[in-house]
A and B are shown apart, each in its own frame.
Chain A
């Protein structure tokens, strides 16, 4: 009896292990935080980009308008790629595009906007990157669609045609 159970047990154990590793082999090993939608936006103090006036996030995100928060920096290459999609979205009347200038040099950022045009209705500063953490972001660019002080869509990485279309559809 003992001799029979052991090999079967062994075979089952190894096949389970094989199965788990075989499945795991194809999984991506890069973790992206779960996208929890409908979470409340954080509250933080910051400064306006051009005037350096102190401002609270309450004064930026008001009422039931659609806001598109875009975390960007002049040193970030994918930000240049997605810039044309932001320009495209800035033509839409019912979305206000808010820029969060992430760990940037002011002159470089200003030149970035002069050379490529400014799609933002409002820009605020995030010089030490801690506001990005308040948003649950971990890189640039990241984009959040906000309504009624809630995040309704979160995009990690640059915008593309498909995502722009999705945003337009959501804000119709």
Chain B
């Protein structure tokens, strides 16, 4: 019986906090994907600079205004350029960046395939 009580109160508590947590999680997720321009190499989430702290407040504000994650990224990209995002979108500046691994994969695969075929032929 005690276990049941414990479980029910646990579920109730989780239910109460989950909606609040969800909003907080999204905020953290967004700020983790933003580069701090003052202390470059750190994300806004990790940084405690004036700029990063303001940006955290702004992200919270924009989320409350009803903007979604993508809209916030577009908004900030418009102000600071691609550099502010750790995960830059697919644009003409980033074709090379995004396609290079695929090209390397295909190229490497071709080399391996060729070797395997040659080996088989020898056998």
Name A residues whose Cβ lies closer than 8 Å to a Cβ of B: 29-31, 33-34, 103, 128-130, 132-136, 138-139
Closest B residue, CB atoms, query A42: B79
B54 touches A31 (CB 8 A): no
CB distance from B113 to the nearest CB of A (A): 16
B51 touches A139 (CB 8 A): yes
Q: Identify 7 new A-B residue pairs, CB closer than 8 A, beyond the known A129-B54, A139-B50.
A: A29-B40, A31-B37, A33-B79, A33-B80, A128-B57, A139-B38, A139-B51
CB distance from A20 to the nearest CB of B (A): 12
Q: Is B26 located at the chain interface by the 8 A CB criterion?
A: no
B80 touches A130 (CB 8 A): no
Q: Identify the interface centre among A29, A30, A33, A134: most chain B CB within 10 Å of its CB.
A: A33
21 contacts between A and B (CB under 8 A): A31-B37, A31-B40, A33-B37, A33-B79, A33-B83, A34-B81, A128-B57, A129-B53, A129-B54, A130-B61, A132-B54, A133-B54, A133-B55, A133-B58, A135-B79, A136-B80, A138-B37, A138-B38, A138-B51, A138-B80, A139-B38
Judged by DSSP, the binding face of A is: loop
Query: Which residues does chain B contribute within 8 Å of A34, judged by CB atoms?
Result: 81
Query: Which residues does chain A contribute within 8 Å of B38, judged by CB atoms?
Result: 138-139
Alpha-carbon separation in the docked complex, A153 to B84 (Å): 21
A128 touches B80 (CB 8 A): no
CB distance from A138 to the nearest CB of B (A): 4
Alpha-carbon separation in the docked complex, A33 to B54 (Å): 17
B79 touches A133 (CB 8 A): yes
Closest B residue, CB atoms, query A134: B79
CB distance from B118 to the nearest CB of A (A): 10
Alpha-carbon separation in the docked complex, A34 to B50 (Å): 21
Query: Which residues does chain B contribute within 8 Å of A133, judged by CB atoms?
Result: 54-55, 58, 79
